[in-house]
């Protein structure tokens, strides 16, 4: 198919990636009259292509290109070649995300001020406040149809939620419900309501869950101003002799390389690929990679403190039936340093099918004890623990010294060590998770270590001062005014909340800024 | 590897002429024709890379790794069949499986009870042989819809309208807990 926009068309905005950040930004710009080319490394799998099959879907949509790991985090031992569990497809990780859409709390935008100096933590306040973000959170929630906001009813609680809620009540928690979910509880925005299919992570077969794949992207395409090129792996962002970016080198599905000229480039390839691309774009003018005068590109990699608790009961649960993550206890998300750590965590329902449970319940586990836990599968309830982890300079994405990808470019290495605060928080969360299930008679609880990272954040962080980070409060790189970062790698710190809503809100805000700056001929 | 009912590479006359032998310590039969047959001929596999005796040991090993009383040997035999199929094209894997099975035998595997077998496997749990067989089990056993049925996982639901009208919120006991 011929391209809609010419490769030589230097008036377009090129967006790299089509997930929560890139897909939203691209549509918002197109709606404002801007011509946009989205380059997406993955293929285009529509709703009818999705499969209710954990391993089948995993090989269909996951980002499985070679990556290496290092550091003392358990993922490096359990899943050495799979540091992150994210999507390579049009729609990015909004294809497999669970739908949890939570706003940051006020103090989570100013952690350096609130938490103070914490040894080993590279804490920094965001250059934006909750008050500045609120109008954009509003628009993001409305766009995504988030339950419990804008008069949208919450989802009904499934079996797994009933167990969580009963335990929470028994334990004295007060702030629990079926969540703020970007999943239709009633028909909205030409999409139907949730059918309780239970395969949220495998791509929503009913389209009730918001994904850029079938919301933002087709809406943008309808304007005639947005072109999505799938199977287009970006290799390099190029610049002119004035130090402004002017094009993007990419390989198409047949491996043929092209340069798409650009007026503005927005990088939204998730927190591993985005810094990798900036580093791989090093030139004689920018020997340490693009936008890296601070040396912060790739650093401060965050992946949220995570863990899961699964509990086996006398009576059946069938937790896999219904919306995977429509259930939350928020009491522990508040800041309360008496618990022995800064930050907070959420407790959210989670379920895996038997195939994934075997791989993730106790990675590497076997023997009588493991087998008996699996035999309790239909009597099992589960929760995911997700909380704020500390940014550390040494947790970072680097270019591998010798391993190369199919195009001869260095693959990314993901290095991570838990901060003492992360460890203390996980211990507390495991304890409270077990206590919740024990309160209603669990026969056995199992503490499951982190899965490969689904929340990858912070590797091109926002900062007020150019020396402290990579981008300013608009996601514009400090060094190159027509180069932007539009994904979760902008996050200065991670908050306790699932990040997608904040990524979408930032993308809406960034689109306003870019369109304004283009109109004023600033970029 | 293939089910014994497949006629490919299956020499029935040789099978009939061969002398069958009970595999020590189990109810499996290994025939001189290269077929491993389960009790009451409920299942059979015909390994191509490894011997039937080696396959029988590996079937027992997979059960010791993931001991489920409700699961028939046929489930475990499928895992071994899959390993054998890969070993046909992978001489290193074939050697790994054969040496591993021989080492188990040398450790008086046949005479060990379930607890002693778990202990014997614990002693080798960092070896490539152990990790290869265990890794195959994770998908080989638990990605098998026959196993899902036994342990109460209903799997794909979209084509049935999801669980909206099929019990997504049916349990009532937590309200009384």
8 Å CB contact of B173 and A366:
no
Task: Using a CB–CB cutoff of 8 Å, tell me whether A316 touches chain B.
Answer: yes
Which conformational region is residue B56 in: left (phi greater than 0), alpha (psi within -120 to 50 degrees), or beta? alpha
Residues of A in contact with B159 (CB under 8 A): 52
Residue A246 domain-assigned? yes
Chosen from B171, B172, B176 to mutate, greatest number of chain A CBs within 10 A: B171
What is the model's pTM? 0.95
* Cα–Cα distance, A494 to A108 (Å, whole number): 8
CB atoms within 10 A of CB A46: 12
Instruction: Say if the Cβ atoms of A52 and B134 lie within 8 Å.
Output: no
- Residue B31 confidence (pLDDT): 77
**Taking the mean position of all CA atoms in its chain, how far away is CA A517?**
27
DSSP 8-class letter at A441: T
Could you tell me if residue A500 is inside a domain?
Answer: yes
Q: b/e string for A445-460 if b means 16 or more Cβ within 10 A?
A: bbbbbbbbbbbbbbbb
pLDDT of residue B40: 72
Q: How many domains does chain A have?
A: 1
Q: Which residues contact A55 (CB under 8 A, 6 or more apart)?
A: A355, A356, B139, B143
User: Token pair of B156, please?
Assistant: 């794909």
What is the tens place of the pLDDT at every residue in B141-162? Answer: 999 999 999 999 999 999 999 9
| Per-residue confidence (pLDDT) for residue A76, from 0 to 100 | 95
From chain A residues 266-285, the ones with a CB under 8 A of any chain B CB are none
Decide if A1 is inside a domain.
Answer: no
For residue A230, the tally of other CB atoms under 10 A from its CB is: 17
Distance from CA of A428 to the nearest CA of B (A): 24
The string of DSSP codes covering A432-445 is HHHHHHHTTT-SEE
> Which one of B62, B64, B120, B162 makes the best mutation probe of the A interface by having the most chain A beta carbons within 10 Å?
B162
Tokens standing for B51? 């011997």
CA distance A408 to A371: 44
> A196: which chain B residues are within 8 Å (Cβ-Cβ)?
162-164, 168
For tokens 């970016």, what's the residue?
A: A245
Chain A environment of B75 (Cβ under 8 Å): none
Interchain CB contact of A374 with B (< 8 Å): yes
- The β-bridge partners of A267 are A16, A485
Beta-carbon contacts below 8 Å between A and B: 140
Mark yes or no for CB contact A52/B156 under 8 Å: yes
Kindly state whether A358 is in contact with chain B, defined as any CB-CB distance less than 8 angstroms. Answer: yes
- pLDDT at residue B3 in the model: 41
Nearest CA distance, A425 vs chain B (angstrom)? 28
User: Which of A81, A159, A192, A437 is the mutation pick for testing B, counting most B CBs within 10 A?
Assistant: A159
The pLDDT score that the predictor gives to residue B23 is 57
Half-sphere exposure of A206 (CA within 13 A, CB side): 28
For residue B134, give the 3-state DSSP assignment: helix
Structural contact between residues B24 and B108, judged by C-beta atoms closer than 8 angstroms: no
A166 interfacial to chain B (CB closer than 8 Å) = yes
B111 vs B71: CA distance, rounded Å: 22
Structure tokens at B139: 């998908």
Inside any domain, residue A132: yes
Using a CB-CB cut-off of 8 Å, the residues of chain B touching A315 are 171, 173
Q: How far apart are CA B153 and CA B145, in angstroms?
A: 9
CB atoms within 10 A of CB A487: 32
**Which chain A residue has its CA at the smallest distance from B114's CA?**
A368
Chain A hits for B171, Cβ within 8 Å: 159, 162-163, 315-318
Determine contact, residues A245/A238, Cβ cutoff 8 Å.
yes
Asked if A378 lies within 8 A of B161 by C-beta distance, the reply is no
Distance CA B154, CA A53 (A): 11
Q: Determine contact, residues A58/A65, Cβ cutoff 8 Å.
A: no
β-bridge pairing A13-16 and A36-39: parallel
The domain of B101 spans 4-176
User: Is A378 close to B139, i.e. CB distance below 8 A?
Assistant: no
Asked if residues A351 and A319 have their Cβ atoms less than 8 Å apart, the reply is yes
Q: For residue B130, give the nearest of B68, B64, B75, B53 by alpha carbon.
A: B64
Domain that holds residue A364: 13-48+56-519
Chain A, window 434-453: residues with a beta carbon less than 8 angstroms from a chain B beta carbon: 440-441
User: Both tokens of residue A194?
Assistant: 């949730």
- Of the candidates B4, B6, B85, B7, the residue with the CA atom closest to the CA atom of residue B44: B4
Verify whether the Cβ–Cβ distance B164 to A374 is below 8 Å. Answer: no
Residue keyed to tokens 């499996």: B28
Tokens matching residue A132: 């500045």
Q: Tell me the pLDDT band of B7, cut-offs 50, 70 and 90.
A: very low
Contact criterion met (CB below 8 Å) for A456 and A84: yes
Measured between beta carbons, which residues in chain B are less than 8 angstroms from residue A370? 66
Q: In the β-sheet with A68-70, what is the strand arrangement from edge to edge?
A: A68-70, A410-415, A396-404
Beta carbons within 8 Å of A465's beta carbon, 6+ residues apart: none
Determine which of A164, A354, A359 to mutate to test the interface with B (most B C-beta atoms within 10 Å). A354
Contact A358, B142 (CB under 8 A): yes
pLDDT in tens, B106-120: 999 999 999 999 999
What is the count of structural domains for chain B? 1
Instruction: Give the CATH number for residue A204.
Output: 3.50.50.60
**Cα B28 vs. chain centroid, distance in angstroms?**
12
CA separation for the pair A27, A10 (Å, rounded): 19
Who among A163, A197, A377 is closest to B158 (CB)? A197
pLDDT over threshold 80, residue B19: no
Report ipTM for this prediction. Answer: 0.94
In terms of Cβ atoms closer than 10 Å to its own Cβ (0-12, 13-18, 19+), residue A224 is exposed
What sign does the CA torsion over A102, A103, A106, A107 have? positive
Out of B137, B142, B175, whose CB is closest to A354?
B142
Give A77's contacts in chain B (Cβ within 8 Å).
Answer: none
Which one has a higher pLDDT value, B98 or B31? B98
For B148, nearest residue in chain A (alpha carbons): A354
d(CA A43, CA A195): 26
CB of A194 within 8 A of CB of B163? no
Q: Which residues of B touch A374 (CB under 8 A)?
A: 66, 68, 142, 151
Q: What are phi and psi for residue A499, nearest 5 degrees? A: -85, -10
Q: Which of A166, A170, A197 sits opposite B157 (nearest CB)?
A: A197
**Quick check: is A374 in a domain?**
yes
CB contact under 8 A, A318 and B152: yes
Residue B51 burial (10 A CB sphere; 0-12, 13-18, 19+): middle
What backbone torsions phi and psi does residue A36 show, to the nearest 5 degrees? -130, 135
A451 located within any domain: yes
- CA nearest to B119 within chain A: A367
Q: Which of A150, A199, A93, A228 is nearest to A503 (CA)?
A: A93
CB nearest to A159's CB, from B68, B151, B170? B170
Rounded distance, CA B51 to CA A276, Å? Answer: 49
Strands (E), A416-505: 444-448, 483-485
Each residue's pLDDT expressed in tens, for chain A with a length of 523 residues: 568 999 999 999 999 999 999 999 999 999 999 999 999 999 999 999 999 999 999 999 999 999 999 999 999 999 999 999 999 999 999 999 999 999 999 999 999 999 999 999 999 999 999 999 999 999 999 999 999 999 999 999 999 999 999 999 999 999 999 999 999 999 999 999 999 999 999 999 999 999 999 999 999 999 999 999 999 999 999 999 999 999 999 999 999 999 999 999 999 999 999 999 999 999 999 999 999 999 999 999 999 999 999 999 999 999 999 999 999 999 999 999 999 999 999 999 999 999 999 999 999 999 999 999 999 999 999 999 999 999 999 999 999 999 999 999 999 999 999 999 999 999 999 999 999 999 999 999 999 999 999 999 999 999 999 999 999 999 999 999 999 999 999 999 999 999 999 999 999 999 999 999 999 999 9
Given an 8 Å threshold on Cβ–Cβ distance, is B157 in contact with A441?
no
The token duo for B98 is: 């054969």
pLDDT digits (tens, 9 = 90+) for B78-99: 999 999 999 999 999 999 999 9
- HEC string for A111-147: HHHHHCCCCCCCCCCCCCCHHHHHHHHHHHHHHHCCC
Residues A89-120 as b or e (16 or more Cβ within 10 Å = b): bbbbbbbbbbbbbbbbbebbbbbbebbeebee
Closest partner residue to A322 (CB to CB) among B137, B156, B169 is B169
Pick from A442, A159, A318: nearest CA to B148: A318
Residue A227 inside a domain? The answer is: yes
Residue A271 lies in a domain: yes
């Amino acid at each position: 198919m011929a391209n809609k926009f010419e490769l030589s068309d230097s008036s377009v905005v090129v967006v790299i990636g089509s997930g929560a950040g890139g897909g939203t930004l691209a549509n918002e710009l197109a709606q404002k009259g801007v011509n946009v080319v989205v380059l997406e490394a993955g293929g285009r799998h529509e709703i009818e292509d999705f499969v209710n099959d954990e391993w089948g879907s995993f090989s269909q949509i996951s980002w499985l290109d070679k990556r290496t790991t290092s550091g003392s985090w358990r993922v490096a031992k359990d899943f050495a070649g799979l540091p992150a569990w994210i999507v390579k497809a049009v729609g990015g990780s909004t294809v497999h995300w669970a739908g949890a859409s939570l706003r940051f709390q006020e103090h989570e935008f100013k952690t350096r001020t609130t938490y103070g100096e914490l040894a080993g933590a590279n804490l920094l306040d965001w250059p934006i406040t909750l008050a500045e973000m609120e109008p954009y959170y509003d628009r993001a929630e409305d766009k995504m149809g988030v339950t419990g906001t804008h008069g949208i009813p919450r989802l009904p609680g499934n079996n797994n939620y009933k167990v969580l809620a009963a335990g929470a009540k028994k334990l004295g928690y007060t702030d629990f419900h079926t969540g703020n979910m970007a999943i239709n509880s009633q028909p909205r925005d030409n999409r139907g309501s949730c059918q309780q299919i239970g395969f949220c992570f495998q791509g929503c077969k009913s389209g009730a869950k918001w994904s850029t794949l079938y919301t933002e992207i087709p809406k943008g395409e309808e304007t005639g101003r947005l072109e999505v090129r799938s199977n287009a792996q970006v290799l390099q962002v190029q610049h002119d002799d004035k130090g402004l970016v002017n094009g993007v080198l990419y390989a198409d599905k047949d491996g043929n390389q092209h340069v798409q000229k650009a007026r503005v480039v927005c990088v939204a390839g998730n927190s591993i690929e985005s810094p990798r691309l900036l580093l791989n774009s090093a030139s004689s003018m920018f020997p340490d990679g693009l936008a890296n005068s601070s040396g912060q590109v790739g650093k401060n990699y965050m992946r949220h403190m995570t863990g899961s608790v699964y509990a086996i009961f006398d009576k059946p649960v069938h937790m896999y039936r219904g919306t995977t993550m429509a259930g939350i206890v928020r009491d522990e998300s508040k800041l309360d340093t008496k618990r022995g750590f800064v930050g907070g965590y959420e407790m959210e329902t989670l379920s895996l099918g038997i195939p994934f449970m075997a791989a993730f319940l106790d990675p590497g586990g076997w023997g009588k004890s493991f087998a008996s836990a699996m035999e309790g599968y239909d009597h099992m309830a589960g929760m995911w623990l997700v909380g704020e982890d500390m940014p550390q300079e040494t947790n970072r994405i680097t270019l591998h010294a010798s391993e190369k990808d199919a195009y001869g470019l260095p693959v990314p290495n993901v290095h991570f060590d838990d901060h003492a605060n992360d460890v203390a928080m996980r211990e507390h969360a495991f304890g409270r998770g077990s206590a919740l299930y024990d309160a209603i008679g669990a026969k056995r609880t199992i503490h499951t270590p982190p899965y490969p990272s689904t929340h990858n954040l912070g590797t091109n962080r926002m900062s007020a001062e150019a020396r402290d980070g990579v981008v300013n409060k608009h996601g514009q790189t400090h060094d190159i005014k027509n180069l932007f970062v539009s994904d979760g790698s902008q996050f200065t710190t991670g908050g306790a909340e699932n990040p997608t809503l904040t990524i979408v809100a930032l993308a809406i805000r960034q689109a306003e800024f870019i369109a304004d700056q283009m109109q004023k001929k600033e970029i | 590897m293939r089910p014994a009912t497949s006629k490919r590479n299956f020499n029935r006359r040789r099978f009939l002429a061969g002398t069958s032998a009970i595999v020590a310590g189990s109810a499996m039969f290994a025939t001189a024709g290269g077929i491993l047959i389960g009790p009451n001929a409920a299942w059979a596999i015909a390994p191509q890379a490894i011997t039937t005796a080696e396959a029988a040991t590996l079937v027992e090993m997979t059960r010791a790794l993931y001991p489920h009383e409700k699961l028939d040997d046929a489930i475990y035999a499928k895992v071994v069949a899959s390993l054998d199929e890969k070993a046909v094209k992978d001489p290193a894997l074939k050697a790994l499986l054969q040496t591993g099975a021989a080492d188990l035998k040398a450790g008086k595997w046949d005479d060990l009870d379930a607890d002693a077998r778990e202990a014997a496997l614990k002693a080798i749990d960092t070896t490539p042989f152990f990790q290869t067989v265990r890794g195959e089990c994770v998908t080989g056993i638990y990605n098998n819809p026959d196993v899902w049925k036994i342990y109460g996982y209903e799997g794909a639901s979209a084509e049935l309208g999801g669980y909206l009208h099929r019990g997504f919120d049916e349990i009532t006991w937590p309200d009384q807990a």
